[in-house]
């Protein structure tokens, strides 16, 4: 996998209607990064949804322990490869099902992008058939491992060719974008992650990474979870928040 997973890289300045067109080398690939529109509620309370990608790699117990310790909730986007690579991590998550729910991050962590090439070092799926296989095989692995049927899909690198999005939704999955990138692919220092994530506003859907246990970002997430919990935040999820995907 890439040194820095993806969904990951800092938000680019040139966002139009919530979509970022990638600079080279990905621009040539016609890849887009859908975003959610933040949907605050009218009652003034602060709801946040924490989503954590388990791209291929390890298991960051610092984050998972903080979620459990502070009675938080997180949606873990699993890949089939991560499940196979992390039996102990999976067992931990399953032992705390009140804190974690599971959604689909694909089979082999391939961006849902057509053509040839790589994005952030990740080989792209290439064809619609490969995109569909990534989705369905990822879902099958999650069902087998957790007993739950996922219905949100986040492609590796959170990148999609426009034609891949309807191909995915026709399989019964909603595209899981985000509103606030907390760790830029687990590449940010702890204090930056803590500051970004702690500043989440009502309706924010945070994205982070739980597959990099040796990077400083995880410590930042642990601090942010403690801070958010201490502030009385309401831990929500994608189903409850029903965020609106910004159209290409």
In the complex, least distance from residue 7 CB atom to Zn ion, rounded to whole angstroms:
6
Using CB atoms within 10 Å of the CB of residue 129, give its burial: 0 to 12 exposed, 13 to 18 middle, 19+ buried: exposed
Nearest to 38 by CA among 222, 241, 235: 241
In the complex, least distance from residue 53 CB atom to Zn ion, rounded to whole angstroms:
4
Stretch (H or E) spanning 32: strand 32-33
Task: Give the one residue of 33, 53, 202, 219 binding Zn ion; rule: CB under 5 A.
Answer: 53
Q: Which is nearer to Zn ion, 40 or 126 (CB)?
A: 126
Q: How far is CA 125 from the centre of its chain?
A: 18
Q: Does 52 bind Zn ion (CB under 5 A)?
A: no
Q: Which of residues 91-120 bind Zn ion (CB under 5 A)?
A: none
Q: Which of residues 4-33 bind Zn ion (CB under 5 A)?
A: 5
In the complex, least distance from residue 211 CB atom to Zn ion, rounded to whole angstroms:
7
CA angle 147, 237, 105 (to 5 degrees): 55
Q: Which of residues 144-163 bind Zn ion (CB under 5 A)?
A: 156
Task: Give the one residue of 50, 52, 55, 145 binding Zn ion; rule: CB under 5 A.
Answer: 55
Q: Which is nearer to Zn ion, 164 or 233 (CB)?
A: 164
C-alpha to C-alpha distance for 110 and 27, rounded to whole angstroms: 17
Q: Does 80 bind Zn ion (CB under 5 A)?
A: no
Q: Which is nearer to Zn ion, 4 or 70 (CB)?
A: 4
Closest residue to Zn ion, Cβ-based?
A: 55
SS3 160: strand
Q: Does 225 bind Zn ion (CB under 5 A)?
A: no
Q: Name, in order, each residue with C-beta under 8 angstroms of 105's C-beta and a sequence gap of 6 or more.
A: 53, 54, 55, 77, 78, 79, 82, 138, 153, 154, 155, 156
Q: Given the rule CB under 5 A, which residues bind Zn ion? A: 5, 53, 55, 156
């Amino acid at each position: 996998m890439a040194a820095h997973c993806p969904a990951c890289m800092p938000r680019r300045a040139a966002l139009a209607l919530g979509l970022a067109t990638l600079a080279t080398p990905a621009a040539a690939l016609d890849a887009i990064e859908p975003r959610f529109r933040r949907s605050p509620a009218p009652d003034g309370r602060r709801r946040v949804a924490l989503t954590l990608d388990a791209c291929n790699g390890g298991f960051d117990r610092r984050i998972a322990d903080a979620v459990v310790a502070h009675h938080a909730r997180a949606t873990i986007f699993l890949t089939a490869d991560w499940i196979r690579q992390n039996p102990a991590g999976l067992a931990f998550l399953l032992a705390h099902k009140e804190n974690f729910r599971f959604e689909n991050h694909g089979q082999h962590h391939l961006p849902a992008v057509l053509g040839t090439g790589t994005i952030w070092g990740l080989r792209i799926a290439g064809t619609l058939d490969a995109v569909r296989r990534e989705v369905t095989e990822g879902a099958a692995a999650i069902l087998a491992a957790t007993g739950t049927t996922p219905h949100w899909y986040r492609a590796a690198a959170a990148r999609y060719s426009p034609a891949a999005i309807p191909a995915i939704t026709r399989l019964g999955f909603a595209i899981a974008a985000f509103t606030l990138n907390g760790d830029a692919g687990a590449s940010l220092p702890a204090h930056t992650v803590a500051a970004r994530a702690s500043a989440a506003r009502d309706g924010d859907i945070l994205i982070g990474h739980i597959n990099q246990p040796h990077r400083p970002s995880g410590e930042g997430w642990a601090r942010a979870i403690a801070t958010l919990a201490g502030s009385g935040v309401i831990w929500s999820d994608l189903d409850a928040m029903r965020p609106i995907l910004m159209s290409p």
